[in-house]
Amino acid sequence: MRKTAIFRSKLFQEHDPGFDHLDSPERVAPLFFTLDELAKNNLFIEPSTTKASRETLLLNHSPQQIDKAAATAGKIFSVLNEDTFTSPKSYEAACFAAGSLVGGIDLLMNREIANGLALVRPPGHHAEKDCSMGFCLFNNIAVAAHHALKRHGLKRVMIVDWDVHHGNGTQNSFFNTEEVLFVSIHESPLFPGTGSHLETGVGSGEGYTLNIPLPGGQGDLEYANIFNTLILPVGHQYRPEIILVSAGFDGYHGDCVSSMRLTHQGFGYMAKVLVELAEKICSGRILFILEGGYNPAGLREGVFAVLSELVGERLTTPFPSFLDEETEAILRKERAPHPAVERVRDIAKRYWKM
């Protein structure tokens, strides 16, 4: 069993965007309950005790945005964007969410843990440098990547975003640099409307953004084929020093925000491929970060399928939570790519050997 850090805090449940909001605190409550049970089996639970400082947030965000979010602290209800609302402790939760990832980077680089899973709220990948949006106050994964580059001197960070929505904020944070390879698989058309396969980066960052927009209805086989034939070859050539994953579980079949058809087996396979890539290339350094996921069953099953791959053994839970060998063998087979993926491959061939 690998030493996997699971970052969580009751504070994350105190971020409450309001009645009937999709990003309800209750969506993570079953995860935390099951983790309490699994902790009895010696899983390494890392309480989220690192609060991102203003200096750390400034690595990715403007002073004005930080001030606007900070001004919501203690207020019963505030509106940062048409879909991004806060409660009294939302700002504090956001600082600890970003801080959890910064702490996770430090633990990975100091070899105190093998890998990690950050079950944070609010999510982050839509937050831009100058504005909060899409349920996100600060861009947790972008802050973490900047920290890895500037505080630990890394030169190559790979970010894989499989949330069903395009990570516009993360893309824009690194659109002009080769220090971060950003890969996004997302449904299109869908919020926020960005993420065309033609968006590949600018200047020294050209070729280091790889967008894979898909029509709805794609499932485990289609996603696995993308990892087998596109993400893995690029990852091996880029040779990242650390891998960060925006793990959204809203592509689960039955999630209300998308029409994708992923199961826990699909999430488990994507995690397995990335964990294996990290083991081969960057001493196993990989950190998964929770983004979306609004179907309770899908979120539970997906998270624990990922966790099984991180710790390296099947976890006993009340629901399906691991990738079985028969399904893995099926998913590893290469297939003819979807026409949408073929268009991405044609673009990627300009920069990578496919």
> Alpha-carbon dihedral of residues 211, 321, 105, 51, nearest 10 degrees?
100
Instruction: Quote the pLDDT of residue 41.
Output: 61
43, pLDDT greater than 80? no
pLDDT in tens, 76-106: 999 999 999 999 999 999 999 999 999 999 9
> What is the domain partition of the chain in residue ranges?
4-348
Mean pLDDT, the chain, rounded, equals 95
Fold of 4-348: Arginase; Chain A (3.40.800)
- pTM > 0.85: yes or no: yes
Q: Is 126 a catalytic residue?
A: yes
> What residue ranges in the chain does DSSP mark as E strands?
4-8, 44-47, 78-81, 84-86, 115-118, 157-161, 180-187, 209-214, 242-247, 286-290
Instruction: Quote the pLDDT of residue 141.
Output: 98
40, pLDDT greater than 70? no
Task: Look at the block and give the residue holding tokens 């997302």.
Answer: 186
Q: Which is catalytic among the residues 125, 126, 147, 186?
A: 126
**Alpha helix (H) residue ranges in 201-319:** 220-226, 232-238, 264-281, 296-311
Interatomic CA distance for residues 150 and 146, integer angstroms = 6
